[in-house]
Amino acid sequence: MIEFKNISKIYSGGKVAVKDVNLSFDRGEFVVFIGTSGSGKTTCMRMINRMIKPTKGNILIDGKNIKDIDEVKLRRSIGYVIQQIGLMPHMTIYENITLVPKLLKWDEKKQRESAEYLIKKVDLPKEMLDRYPAELSGGQQQRIGVIRALAAEQNIILMDEPFGALDPITRESLQKLIKRLQKDLGKTVVFVTHDMDEALAMADKIAIMDKGDLIQFDTPDNILLNPANEFVKELLGEDRIVQARSRTQIVDKVMYKNPIFIERDKTLAEALKLMREKRVDTLFVTDENNVLEGYIDIFALGKKDTRNHKVSEIIKEANYIESGTLLREAMFLISECDYKNLPVVDKDNKLIGLFTRANIVDSIYNMMFEDEEELQEEELVHSTSDIE
């Protein structure tokens, strides 16, 4: 558990960066600090590893005051990821990842095992460990920055607007990656952002800051349903608050239940025939157990001899969402990240449905009609009261 007890930060000249912040969150939670520039969100995060020292109050980690922990030991026990990534250009990827483990005097075998395990976790080949940062794309470098923060087996990871400089597609991919790693490894993540959609999509709890004050600290759904004041309402935006009515609605309720798919060992001729019958230009690909493996499209298929090649030869990676995903999260992926559609899988990665723009339109219409019906009911009540 991390606890802020009456935390304030006052700089010389009397400038107040943070004042009397009290909050606590549990091990394994994903906590996001958000607010306008100068709100105190980054200051709060940096006080956790004493990069910034509080003027007043105490911060406790698992009941122990961080003032009583050696600064160097504290910082080496907490992972840290910044927007600029901070990879050392003259070091290989392996040397970058194992920087802290080396300082902790891990033996070479343990360092190598940790690096290979983590690079696999972020879907990069272990051969990449021998390359230099300049040889990697921005998104790949960001993945290395993330696993470097995990390499010394730190339980707490601080992330300071890590995706701010990335394009929307890479950013969304890394958001999903971080959430998966956080859940798989049971890490506590403290994340700073100025992007409300990012905060709502990733956080277990959100801390909203304004001019050094903690305005609201709660789950995304509770904040959407019960904004603390006008500042929070403006930060959220009217559209998000309206869409919060679908907070408990999940994609399973509106998705198409019978997505068109083909097994990986089928021929391209069979795939072409199925596409023609169903009048589609893409097919999802599964294995014999209905586990999603990707998709194929008519354009790739047209470049091959359909009689002598298999579907497995032209599979492309598919972005997907899991059963139980909130409708507002799926809407964000379709509308903001410009995905054509998203297959839905169960906990075993088996294909169970398809979420499309048409599903979004249907949901919006339903919400609009519900609003209209409620308005008519209110008018009826008022008119009845007038008669009485």
Are residue 233 and residue 256 in the same domain, yes or no?
no
Q: How confident is the model at residue 384 (pLDDT cuts 50, 70, 90)?
A: very low
In a domain, 177, yes or no: yes
Residues 284-331: tens digit of each pLDDT: 999 999 999 999 988 887 666 767 788 988 898 888 888 888 777 787
Asked if residue 177 and residue 111 are part of one domain, the reply reads yes
230 and 317 inside one domain:
no
CATH number for position 41: 3.40.50.300
pLDDT of 112 > 80? The answer is: yes
Tell me which of 143 and 259 has the higher pLDDT. Answer: 259
State the Cα torsion 76-78-80-86 to the nearest 10°. Answer: 10
Residues 149 and 273 in one domain: no
Q: Per the structure, how many domains does the chain have? A: 2
Check: CB of residue 65 under 8 Å from CB of residue 223: no
**Would 377 be classed as within a structural domain?**
no
Which CATH number is 270's domain given? 3.10.580.10
Q: Tell whether 388 is covered by a domain.
A: no
Are 113 and 255 contained in the same domain?
Answer: no
Query: Considering the domain boundaries, does residue 374 fall inside one?
Result: no
Percent of the chain topping pLDDT 70: 88
Q: Which of 205, 237, 269 is the last residue of a domain?
A: 237
Q: Are residues 172 and 43 in the same domain?
A: yes
- Over residues 181-240, the pLDDT tens digits come to 888 788 899 999 988 888 988 899 999 999 999 999 999 888 988 899 999 999 998 777
Its domain, for residue 291, covers 251-361
Q: Is residue 338 part of a domain?
A: yes
204 inside domain: yes
Domain edge (last residue) among 206, 237, 268: 237
Q: What is the mean pLDDT of the chain?
A: 84
Q: Tell me whether residue 123 is in a domain.
A: yes
Q: Are residues 103 and 12 in the same domain?
A: yes
pLDDT for 122-170, tens place per residue? Answer: 888 888 899 998 888 877 887 888 788 777 778 898 988 877 666 777 7
Within a domain: residue 12?
Answer: yes
In a shared domain, residues 154 and 29: yes
Residue 91's alpha-carbon distances to 88, 109, 119, 120, 128, in angstroms, are: 5, 19, 16, 20, 13
Judge if 283 and 232 occupy the same domain: no
Please state the rounded mean pLDDT for residues 334-363: 83
Domain identity same for 260 and 219: no
Quick one: 260 and 119 in the same domain? no
The first and second tokens of residue 3, run together, are 């606890």
Same domain membership, residue 122 and residue 24: yes
Task: State pTM to two decimals.
Answer: 0.62
